[in-house]
Amino acid sequence: MTDSATIKYIVNERARIHDKTEKGVGYMKKNTEKWTALLMTAVMAAGLTGCGNAGAETQDAKQPVAEQAQTAQSDTGQEQQDAAAETESGGAAGGKVSVVLATNWGEGDAKYDYFYPLFEKFQEEHKDTLDITLQTYSTEDYKTKIKTQTASGDLPDVFTYWGGGMMKDMVDAGLLLNVDDYFAASSEVSKEDFEDGAFEYYVSGDGNAYGIPLESTRGIFIANKALFEQYDLEYPKTYEELVKVSEVFRANDIIPLAIGSNGGTPSEFFFSELYNQYEGAADEIKALAAGGSFHTENAVRVAEVIVDMIDQGMLPADTMANGGWTGSLQLYTDQKAAMTYTYPWNFEFIPDEMQENSEIIPIPQLPGATVDSASMISGFTVYGLVINKQSFEDAAKHDAVLALCDFLASDELTQELTKSGMIPCKKVEVNTDEQKLIMQKTIEYAKDKKLVQVHYTTMPSADAITMMDSSLDELFIKAITPEEFTQKVQAVLDKNNE
């Protein structure tokens, strides 16, 4: 609206309100409650129209308010709004294409320091053609943000996101691009550049992949060398040996295994790692994605082993307070615990001398387990990149999105991110000398091992993961039995399959 039009609008609007009130006052002035009731009715009417499914309806109902709000705005407000309108349209204003990149690699994240300089460089190189808005959030905030943006249809053009059960609803609604389309269009990145099986996490029920895997991981079981030497102990190879070792440590006020459970971390991954030792377990985990069962004999068995570990005092008694990635690791790095189970994203919190002092060992073989734990390591895609289908197919944005994705999946950025402790999904040359010592040990250890999956990546829906996490916490405080634990998770899967 131009200024004169605005003024005209206000004048007309005022005249209209004035007229109305003049006429209305006659019957309203005496009875306040009646007048109130009238207001209420108007509100109810407005409220109800506001809830129709059709967006257009809602828009009509609220348009006048918008205009009032606009006229009431201060100058700066108006400017901001104009700026917002510009970015919103994302059009090729002034020859530049606006694209939005969102990620949870925020300022406090380990990846940020490696990602941001390269991102700035990329932005600089394309400053004449691209206008990229980078939106960063912490993980919890990010999930909420993306969910509201999905609901309001404002998804970013390119964003990092989880696969499996987390992306399912978006895929079903056709919001994400089948990445084959991207690879077909890209001259720089191809599907073959990635590790075998890296795409599995992003493969949906229709067999297509809807995300470009960026980060892979390896679960490692580490032992404090010095503590084992001090008490003249051997690394346990079987569960019986673990029990014996634990007795010695406990007698000396050392927690044998620093593994807690708070929100399912890190217990959930430990559970899967143990699970993989049993006959047919690997296939059962894989089958989960396609409607397989969680409540299996193996699951109950593993849960029973965990309860036994708790009963034997192997795990920290205060599992909630010592759960989570940071909490579990801390007891180990403070040498209050002899062993722990951890992942590369925690490596930067392991002090140098502890990296030196840590040995990666196979998890002790559980009773009745048939798969040799020394032959495998859990390794799976945890994170990647998804592309907004609409943006990719929008002729104005297509090239911009393509260029941005090429950058995000480039060898250069991938190599840089490995310095933060990220194991890449892409096959790139990694200079091991630049890595942390513990990372070098992990790479060395994982070399000849078979990679196995975890429940987290194959669970078909987000609520099943949530249930697994929160019930594992319950199992760890012994509030529920192994049987109840598996049934609770199964109940969620069954409900979704109805």
Partner 1 sequence: MSSKRKETLLAAGFLMPVFIVYTVFLFVPLVNTAMYSLTKWNGVTEKVFIGIRNYQELFHNADYWITFQNTIKLVVITLVIQIPTGLLLAYLLYINTKGSKVFRTIFFLPVVIAPVAIALMFSLFYNSEIGVFNRILEMIGLGGLQTNWLSNTKTLLYAVMAPQVWQYIGLYVTIFLGALQAVPEELVESAEIDGAGKIRTFFYVVLPQIVNFTNICVILCVTGSLKAFEHSWIMTGGGPGVRSAYLGVYMYKTAFVNSDFGTGSAITMTIVALSLAITGLINGIGRWRERE
Partner 2 sequence: MTFFGKSWQSRLAALCKYIVLTLAAVLCLYPFLWVVLSSLKDNSSIYGDPFGLPMSPMFENYAKAWKGADVGRNFINSMAVCLATLAVLIVITAMGSYILTRVKRSILLDTYFSLGIMIPIHALLIPSVLIFKNLHLTDNLFSLVIMYAAVNISFSMFIMNGFMKGIPKELDEAATIDGCGKGQIFFRIILPVAKPGIATVATLAFLNCWNDLLMGLVLISSPQKKTLALAISALKGSYATQYGLLCAGFVISIVPVMIMYLLFQKQVIAGMTAGAVKG
Selected binder of partner 2 within 12, 21, 49, 133 (CB under 8 A): 133
Residue 319 touches which of partner 1, partner 2, none (CB < 5 to 8 A by kind)?
partner 1
Give the residue with the Cβ less far from partner 2, 270 or 343: 343
Q: How far apart are CA 275 and CA 270, in angstroms?
A: 8
Q: How far apart are CA 19 and CA 476, in angstroms?
A: 70
Name the one range near partner 1 by CB under 8 A: 172-180, 282-290, 367-375, 398-406: 172-180
379, 147 Cβ separation under 8 angstroms: no
User: Residues with Cβ < 8 Å from 443, sequence gap 6 or more?
Assistant: 430, 432, 435
The answer to whether residue 370 forms part of the interface with partner 2 (CB under 8 A) is no
| Residue reference for tokens 């490995």 | 418
Selected binder of partner 2 within 90, 97, 99, 105 (CB under 8 A): 105
Closest to 105 (Cα-Cα) out of 52, 131, 141, 78: 141
Name the one range near partner 1 by CB under 8 A: 2-10, 78-86, 108-116, 465-473: 465-473
E strand intervals along 44-168: 97-103, 130-136, 158-161
Name the one range near partner 1 by CB under 8 A: 78-86, 426-434, 443-451, 466-474: 466-474
Provide the minimum distance between the beta carbon of 103 and partner 2 in the complex, in angstroms, as a whole number. 9
- Per the rule left: phi > 0, alpha: psi between -120 and 50, beta: everything else, 391 is alpha
Provide the minimum distance between the beta carbon of 387 and partner 1 in the complex, in angstroms, as a whole number. 16
Number of other residues whose CB lies within 10 A of the CB of residue 135:
15
User: Residues with Cβ < 8 Å from 444, sequence gap 6 or more?
Assistant: none
Q: How many CA atoms lie within 13 A of 489 on its CB side?
A: 36
Selected binder of partner 2 within 19, 107, 125, 229 (CB under 8 A): 107
Residue 451 touches which of partner 1, partner 2, none (CB < 5 to 8 A by kind)?
none
The answer to whether residue 150 forms part of the interface with partner 1 (CB under 8 A) is yes
Reply yes or no: is the peptide bond before residue 156 cis, omega within 30 of 0.
Answer: no
| Residue reference for tokens 């006229």 | 71
Provide the minimum distance between the beta carbon of 131 and partner 2 in the complex, in angstroms, as a whole number. 12
Q: Got the DSSP string for 410-473?
A: -HHHHHHHHTTTPEESB-----GGGS-HHHHHHHHHHTTPEEE--HHHH-SSHHHHHHHHHHHH
Give the residue with the Cβ less far from partner 2, 15 or 46: 46
Q: What letter does residue 433 receive in the DSSP assignment?
A: G
Give the residue with the Cβ less far from partner 1, 222 or 480: 480
The answer to whether residue 396 forms part of the interface with partner 1 (CB under 8 A) is no
Q: How far apart are CA 141 and CA 146, in angstroms?
A: 9
Burial of 436 (0-12, 13-18, 19+ CB in 10 A): middle
Name which of residues 39 to 78 contact partner 1 (CB under 8 A): 39, 43-44, 46-48, 50-51, 53, 62, 65
Give the residue with the Cβ less far from partner 1, 70 or 466: 466
The answer to whether residue 170 forms part of the interface with partner 1 (CB under 8 A) is yes
Give the count of residues interacting with partner 2 (CB under 8 A): 61
Q: How far apart are CA 312 and CA 399, in angstroms?
A: 60
Selected binder of partner 1 within 462, 481, 487, 490 (CB under 8 A): 462
Torsional sign, CA 52, 54, 55, 56: negative
Q: How far apart are CA 186 and CA 404, in angstroms?
A: 11
Selected binder of partner 2 within 12, 41, 73, 190 (CB under 8 A): 73
What three-state secondary structure class fits 379? strand
Give the residue with the Cβ less far from partner 2, 33 or 206: 33
Name the one range near partner 2 by CB under 8 A: 242-250, 340-348, 358-366, 488-496: 340-348
Name the one range near partner 1 by CB under 8 A: 74-82, 182-190, 299-307, 315-323: 315-323
User: Residues with Cβ < 8 Å from 262, sequence gap 6 or more?
Assistant: 319, 320, 321, 322, 323, 324, 327, 473
Angle at 106 between CA 104 and CA 112, to 5 degrees: 110
Give the residue with the Cβ less far from partner 1, 308 or 463: 463
Contacts with partner 1 by CB under 8 A lie at 21, 25, 28-29, 35, 39, 43-44, 46-48, 50-51, 53, 62, 65, 143-144, 147-148, 150-151, 169-170, 172-173, 175, 255, 261-263, 316-322, 327, 330-331, 334, 336, 462-463, 466, 469-471, 473-474, 476-477, 479-480
Contacts with partner 2 by CB under 8 A lie at 32-33, 35-37, 39-40, 50, 55, 58-59, 62, 65-66, 69, 73, 77, 80-81, 84-85, 87-88, 100, 104-111, 133-141, 144-145, 148, 151-154, 325-327, 329-330, 333-334, 343, 345-346, 348-349, 351
